[in-house]
Amino acid sequence: MLKIIPFKIIFYNIYFLEPEAGPLPRPTPEGGVKSGEIRHENYGINENLEWPISTDCASVTITSSAFDTEATYDYVTIGDVQYSGTDPISVTVPNGNTVVRFHSDASATKSGFVLAWSCPGFLLIYSLLIIVYFSSLLKFLIDNYFSV
């Protein structure tokens, strides 16, 4: 006898945004945004930009995978702290709603930055849920279709 196995496949929408438009959202199955990316590479002179981060998380961790601005003169501001030069960023903001700001002066520019933000623990919890789900599905298949 053939059994029908109900299960759910979740597809994510991926949005490609211009650097000025804001962070790249990654929706969760519940519809909330728990992580994203801010890219501003090869920036220009005299820029003043903002990227709001809005989530229902208690805090947000922001890290840089690439960071190169003109030291002291071109900088990213997160909270009350300015970051410039080539030192990597790794900061946890104690609020799920914050704004990442960027300023460049009228002279030299550098290669820019890529920042990733996420709710602490989100990726670990979500990964564990996926593992548990597929482990249960695999056990069900083995018990019902491949039993000896």
For tokens 């519940």, what's the residue? Answer: 30
Q: What is the DSSP string of 91-120?
A: EEESSSEEEEEEE--SS----EEEEEEE-T
d(CA 112, CA 67): 6
DSSP 1-35: ------------------GGG--EEEE-TTS-EEE
Q: Strand, helix or coil at 57?
A: coil
pLDDT for residue 129: 63
Per-residue pLDDT, 132: 67
pTM of the model: 0.63
Q: Which two tokens stand for residue 52?
A: 């709001």
Q: What is the pLDDT of residue 144?
A: 81
Ordered per-residue pLDDT tens for the chain, 148 residues: 444 444 443 433 333 333 444 444 444 444 467 889 999 999 999 999 999 998 888 899 999 999 999 999 999 999 999 999 999 999 999 888 899 999 999 999 999 999 999 988 655 555 556 676 777 777 777 788 776 5
Domains and their CATH numbers in the chain: 19-119 (2.60.120.290)
